[in-house]
Structure 1
């Protein structure tokens, strides 16, 4: 039986609570001996104690593991001298050092979850946003310039290699899916501002070149401002959306809001050899230690991790376990057994986890 080493960086705030909830569900789904969880330190609180947000030993373990499960990082009061938060540096360093170039954000409306969209009862929302994860505007973090306390600049960086590989990732993903809910067409939508900036015109042009290798997948284009309207008015049109780093960050949160919020939004940051998985939410230090956080985003991120491992290692058992976890989450929500607070219920983190485990059983 295959055995997979999973480095767990619980991190800050609610990170330890939701990470432990996900581990419990993963063990229930795959058995005790398939996943070997290795605890490793990192995050803002660790930085405050040691001066190091990502210890060398943690990085080594991440390099050698099959995957990384990350709770949450960041505490607003722990910042660098320039005012930026320390906690963000943990996964930013891992992105660049492990070349996690594709941020995978599934946007799917589950039964039993209310959507703020008026037509939610007749609209099927099921698409994936692929955010380029190592370039774009965020590549300038730490390198921006402030002149005489009067002017500030950050540089948007886009390379052919970076765009081509994330576009190819998006097209390959579309081939594995069943198409957009509205018409069943496999479709990749390129989100950009090609009408204004050369960098985004280049992003679009490279995506268009890649599309030539995928005649079975339709290519579509949307400006970043316009897509925020389309995601609300016709979310069932979308299959896969690919975007530059900052735009992908923004529209991912918008998409999450249409299907219940960040508390139910999974996320994966993957490259050719490594993958990191965490809920799309933050560390929520205001409710840390109260057993009040929803573990669903983290649990669904664990399922996303199993999907990635299954694909990478041709392990159908892991793929089946991932499907069972998603079905267990949907069952627990649709039957109203344990609804977390962010979805209008009152269930604790432990109660939600218990309900998902019962549904798995």
Structure 2
């Protein structure tokens, strides 16, 4: 546990990435500067990684970028990957940046808030009345994705990947889920703090083990309700009763899938911030991809990246006991709420606001707040 020790200045490693990455990343940087009154608190240093980097240099994640990310107080990212820019095995080269960060920096907790903001419509008919506000906590270093690069292909006839679940990995992510629940106000439906374990314990021995370990950890949190859902049923529950959920904790691949489903209920991937954190490092980006088909057109939705910036400020502020950062995060969220409520919506939310106009509006609001 890091001692609460505010710094005069925090070093942020910035990787803009591919496709719309530079556009949404630039919006996030501008909004943070506006929220904090300039560059006095955060020092942004840019580094290369991703598909374009691989195409230009032959490496998707240069050693210098990794060293800078490891040493930085936090890592801020736009988006990565371009379809067709692949390794010889067919996997996307650009994705290695985020995947390697997770494993090499042990960013075990992937935190994905799913929240329906005022001014944003949902395809769920009751969402405007009941609201949607829960968190998916995805174990980030184990599960089926741990097999990337290590699977087997035999004679071009048989392919296999192996999922990995450990006691230590499960204990720490489940404990993080309970700690997150303690910081929240409970589920919208009944106000109860609740941790839901999402698994496939009825079929897979590894996920039955995940559930067993989660039950053991829950004994340390008698103030929080423990709930279970099979992953296939969860895809129904997140549509039928999203207001029942507070914090959902799950395996890596399951978390990837249900968080995209959750995003679709609150406006899409452009409204989905993400924090990937470990004991020392934190990596912040929107959950969406690089959308190269709209890159350079000025129509990308920057809200997800901007909300990820707010998560970064919160994490840094809490880690170092620095109220300047946590207050900045609150201002960013308030500006986003005001901007959305007033109808400043990009195309994917049914509006026609361009990325630069949204960013300008947010910065104007933050200038008044600051």
Distance 1:155 1:121 in 2: 41
Question: Residue in 2 aligned with 1:358?
Answer: 364
Assess if the C-alpha contact under 8 Å between 2:187 and 2:243 holds in 1. yes
Counterpart among 32, 35, 50 of residue 29 in structure 1: 35
Tell me if 1:7 matches 2:13: yes
Report the secondary structure of 1:201's partner residue: helix
Per the TM alignment, residue 317 of structure 1 is displaced from its structure 2 partner at its CA by 2.1
Tell me if 1:78 matches 2:103: no
Distance 1:199 1:69 in 2: 33
Question: Residue in 2 aligned with 1:113?
Answer: 120
Question: Residue in 2 aligned with 1:341?
Answer: 347
Report the secondary structure of 1:79's partner residue: coil
Question: Residue in 2 aligned with 1:212?
Answer: 219
1:54-82 deviations in Å (ceiling 9; x for gaps): 11111111111100001011010100111
Tell me if 1:130 matches 2:137: yes
Question: Residue in 1 aligned with 2:3?
Answer: none
Question: Residue in 1 aligned with 2:65?
Answer: 58
Deviates more, 1:144-153 or 1:169-178: 144-153
Per the TM alignment, residue 2 of structure 1 is displaced from its structure 2 partner at its CA by 2.6
1:76-101 deviations in Å (ceiling 9; x for gaps): 01001111101111110111111100
Report matched runs for 1:1-361 at 5 Å: 2-32=8-38, 33-336=40-343, 338-360=344-366, 361=368
The two structures have a TM-score, normalised by structure 1, of 0.98
Distance 1:31 1:273 in 2: 27
The two structures have a TM-score, normalised by structure 2, of 0.96
Assess if the C-alpha contact under 8 Å between 2:286 and 2:308 holds in 1. yes
RMSD: 0.9
Per the TM alignment, residue 37 of structure 1 is displaced from its structure 2 partner at its CA by 0.3
Assess if the C-alpha contact under 8 Å between 2:121 and 2:128 holds in 1. no
Q: Which 5+ residue runs of structure 1 have no aligned equivalent?
A: none
Distance 1:130 1:186 in 2: 15
1:212-242 deviations in Å (ceiling 9; x for gaps): 1111111100000001111111111100000
Assess if the C-alpha contact under 8 Å between 2:198 and 2:230 holds in 1. yes
Distance 1:65 1:83 in 2: 32
Per the TM alignment, residue 319 of structure 1 is displaced from its structure 2 partner at its CA by 1.2
Per the TM alignment, residue 299 of structure 1 is displaced from its structure 2 partner at its CA by 0.3
Distance 1:93 1:120 in 2: 37
Per the TM alignment, residue 52 of structure 1 is displaced from its structure 2 partner at its CA by 1.2
Distance 2:185 2:127 in 1: 20
Distance 2:220 2:139 in 1: 20
Per the TM alignment, residue 327 of structure 1 is displaced from its structure 2 partner at its CA by 1.3
Per the TM alignment, residue 143 of structure 1 is displaced from its structure 2 partner at its CA by 1.1
Distance 1:31 1:56 in 2: 33
Question: Residue in 1 aligned with 2:4?
Answer: none
Distance 1:238 1:114 in 2: 19
Assess if the C-alpha contact under 8 Å between 2:105 and 2:281 holds in 1. yes
Q: Which 5+ residue runs of structure 2 have no aligned equivalent?
A: 1-6
